[in-house]
Amino acid sequence: MSYKSGLAAFVMSMSFAAAAAAAPVWTINSLNTIGCASSATGFTTTITGVSGTEYWRTIVDANGLRYMDEVVGPATNTVQPWHLYTSSSGGPTTASWPIPAATPITVNFEFINGLGGPVVFQRQVTLTRCDGGTILSDIVLIPNTIVPTLGEWGMGGLAMLLMLAGGLALRRRSQRIA
């Protein structure tokens, strides 16, 4: 194997190792019930790709007010019902249920990496109104893609291989000129 193909194999193996890890995804299968009172709105959801360090976080906003900010976990891979209700375990709320009639609702379904950790997945679902509405939009805001990276030892190894490849290329070039 030449030094060029060896270098390419090394870089590819590092990239694939980083990309192989599953990323958490929270999918909304259906809107089962909808209402303005606490626990009146419920979904069926599917959770996949969690490793055990992620926590569920659900945030419910309507008319600029926060009705729910809940953190629960650690998350598990499952299919389950998910309801919106009074909870402030993830942060302060600024309003009490019920949400006023005919008010649109924004729900953020998130995974955070550990308690208080960064958001690693976020899906935002907007309901047209709390009393008999439907799903207006369902958007993934923070993609579940993993950007391949190298750790300290990987970067050091890559730097050494690049220096070796450069040295060999210079040596071959100087032999051709002579």
The order of strands in the sheet holding 119-127 is 65-72, 54-62, 105-113, 119-127, 135-142
pLDDT at 115: 86
Are 53 and 108 found together in one domain?
Answer: yes
Are 113 and 132 found together in one domain?
Answer: yes
Q: How many domains does the chain have?
A: 2
pLDDT at 45: 95
pLDDT at 17: 43
Are 83 and 125 found together in one domain?
Answer: yes
pLDDT at 15: 44
Average pLDDT across each block of 10 residues of the chain; the chain has 178 residues. List them in order.
50 45 84 95 94 92 96 93 95 96 95 89 94 91 64 81 86 78
Classify burial at 42, counting beta carbons within 10 Å of its beta carbon; exposed 0-12, middle 13-18, buried 19 or more: middle
Report the CATH number at residue 130.
2.60.40
Are 12 and 43 found together in one domain?
Answer: no
Are 83 and 135 found together in one domain?
Answer: yes
Structural domain boundaries, residue 45: 25-142
pLDDT at 72: 93
What is d(CA 99, CA 106) in angstroms, rounded to the nearest whole number?
12
Are 114 and 66 found together in one domain?
Answer: yes
Are 90 and 123 found together in one domain?
Answer: yes
pLDDT at 69: 96
